[in-house]
Amino acid sequence: MNFNTPPYLTQNVSVQHVMLQVLAALLPGIAVYVWLIGPVVVVQIAITTAASLLAEAFMLRLLNKPLGLFLGDGSAIVTAWLIALAFPPLAPWWLLVVGALFAIIVAKHLYGGLGQNPFNPAMIAFAVCIVSFPALMSQWPPVDLPSGVLDHLALVFGYSPRIDAMSGATPLDTLKTALKLGDGSASVASVMADAHTYGYFAGKGWEWVGAAYLLGGLWLWQRRIISWHAPAGFVGGMALLAGGLWLWNPGQFANPVFHLFSGGSMLGAWFIVTDPVSGCTTVKGKLIFGLAAGALAYVIRVFGGYPDGVAFAVLLLNICVPLIDLYTQPPIFGMKGKP
């Protein structure tokens, strides 16, 4: 006799399947990034991917886990791509390697490997590097940099000196510095009138990278790889806080659209807070996680000392995940109230 148990409809949801789609969803963002900065972005992604895979293979060997199964699942590649996209594009190669090694060896495998890590490995890499090398991690090139790919590669591989002209601040940083350190006469409108740095609704050029991430994220949602709760929470949390402060004092606080398309907001909203391992698992929990992460990212980037706050916000919320999950357990089917 043949017994079948529900659910009868099954989906192909292997880790590899999910990870490949996440990688595909990152492609539009990468394409715009390459158009904006140059092919050096692809080189950085390749370096980080190679380092991540090597670290993954090393740790799998050390832990006697099947090499092919885990190397082929693509999770290390997703981590590597997120690191490469979160780091400054002209960062020296070893910075990306340090980030990748730390993410894979410490943040992923020392905590038990795929599915066990309480913290998002890519954000750990970012946090470790910005704490350890604050200067290098804050050197973002201006978008109309008049230099070719060879100049970029010379910078990445350390053959030419890192001069300040090659490295500007991000649109977020420029705004914060002008508002905080100025004589008080600077307003958001006057700072953002600078067409050299600012575009239509956010940083010049960077706004389209953010828009492309948004596109990729929406595609992931449409493919049901991610649910809408965490991204909506993140966007909502950041927009609510930014919108409230903007309505209260538009001279000192930029509008929510600027914040949503600046820094790591879109990458964070669609590719970081949706991490199924380090994020919440309950529906309500995902919303709370996203909301708090978005609001905290805004607070850190506007009032804090770091150029962007997404990484720290996500890591702080990662710690709270077990607590949020505990208090947002849905009732068991057929029961009323708390289980």
CB nearer to another protein: give 106 or 212: 106
Considering only residues 22 through 81, tell me which ones interact with another protein, judged by CB under 8 A.
none
Could you tell me the CA-to-CA distances from 147 to 15, 143, 155, 172 in Å, in that order?
40, 11, 11, 23
Binding track, positions 76-115, relative to another protein; x by CB under 8 A: ----------------------x-------x---x-----
Among 90, 128, 266, 273, binds another protein (CB under 8 A): 128
Q: Which residue has the tokens 């705004």?
A: 175
CB nearer to another protein: give 63 or 149: 63
133 binds another protein (CB under 8 A): yes
Q: Tell me the helices (H) and strands (E) count for the chain, helix number first.
A: 16, 0
Separation between Cα atoms, residue 75 and residue 140, nearest integer Å? 27
Stretch of residues binding another protein (CB under 8 A), selected from 126-134, 137-145, 225-233, 264-272: 126-134
Separation between Cα atoms, residue 315 and residue 120, nearest integer Å? 7
Separation between Cα atoms, residue 178 and residue 180, nearest integer Å? 6
CB nearer to another protein: give 133 or 221: 133
Stretch of residues binding another protein (CB under 8 A), selected from 114-122, 128-136, 260-268, 297-305: 128-136
Evaluate whether 209 touches 201 at the Cβ level (below 8 Å).
no
CB nearer to another protein: give 77 or 125: 125
CB nearer to another protein: give 128 or 192: 128
CB of 132 to another protein, least distance (A): 4
Among 132, 190, 249, 329, binds another protein (CB under 8 A): 132
Binding residues with another protein: total (CB under 8 A):
8
CB nearer to another protein: give 110 or 247: 110
Most distant CA atoms of the chain, gap in Å: 83
Separation between Cα atoms, residue 195 and residue 104, nearest integer Å? 40
Task: List the one residue out of 325, 324, 137, 175 whose CA is nearest residue 258.
Answer: 175
Provide the β-strand partners of residue 198: 203
Q: What are phi and psi of 203, to 5 degrees?
A: -60, 140
131 binds another protein (CB under 8 A): yes
HEC profile for 146-202?
Answer: CCCHHHHHHHHCCCCCCCHHHCECCHHHHHHHHHHHCCCCCCHHHHHCCCCCECCCC
CB of 258 to another protein, least distance (A): 31
CB nearer to another protein: give 30 or 128: 128
CB of 123 to another protein, least distance (A): 15
315 binds another protein (CB under 8 A): no
Positions in the binding site for another protein (CB under 8 A): 98, 106, 110, 128, 131-133, 136
